[in-house]
Amino acid sequence: MAAARWALALARGAAPVALGLLLWVAVAGGEQERLDTLKALPEANPEVLAQRRRHNELIMAALREAAETDENVARRPVPWRK
């Protein structure tokens, strides 16, 4: 009888561990695929990153100028430069 209780307790303790291990394996497999997908994105290209940085610099310059002036810069003609 003691052996049967011991086996039942062992099974009850091993079940959550086994379930956790299965879930971990399932998530880890998807994680590798996700990392491969992220490496293949065009944003990983240095040229695209440089273009994005330049674009952000231009936007920040326009916002800075708009904050420093009382003129409505949205009403200017499109090709505007100082």
Domain-located, residue 6: no
Domain-located, residue 80: no
Domain-located, residue 51: yes
Please tell me the predicted confidence (pLDDT) of residue 6: 92
Please tell me the predicted confidence (pLDDT) of residue 71: 76
Domain-located, residue 44: yes
Domain-located, residue 49: yes
What's phi and psi for 72, nearest 5 deg?
-80, 100
Domain coverage including residue 61: 32-66
CB contact at 8 A, 38 and 44? yes
Domain-located, residue 57: yes
Domain-located, residue 3: no
pLDDT of 55 > 90? The answer is yes
Please tell me the predicted confidence (pLDDT) of residue 79: 66
- Mean pLDDT, residues 48-55: 89
Distance of CA 37 to the CA centre of its chain: 12
Q: What is the pLDDT of residues 3-45, one digit of tens each?
A: 889 988 898 999 999 999 998 888 777 777 888 888 787 777 7
Q: What is the pLDDT of residues 57-82, one digit of tens each?
A: 999 998 888 888 877 777 776 665 55
CB contact at 8 A, 53 and 61? no
Domain-located, residue 77: no
Please tell me the total count of domains within the chain: 1
- DSSP state for residue 74 in the 8-state scheme: G
The residue that leads in pLDDT, 56 or 29, is 56
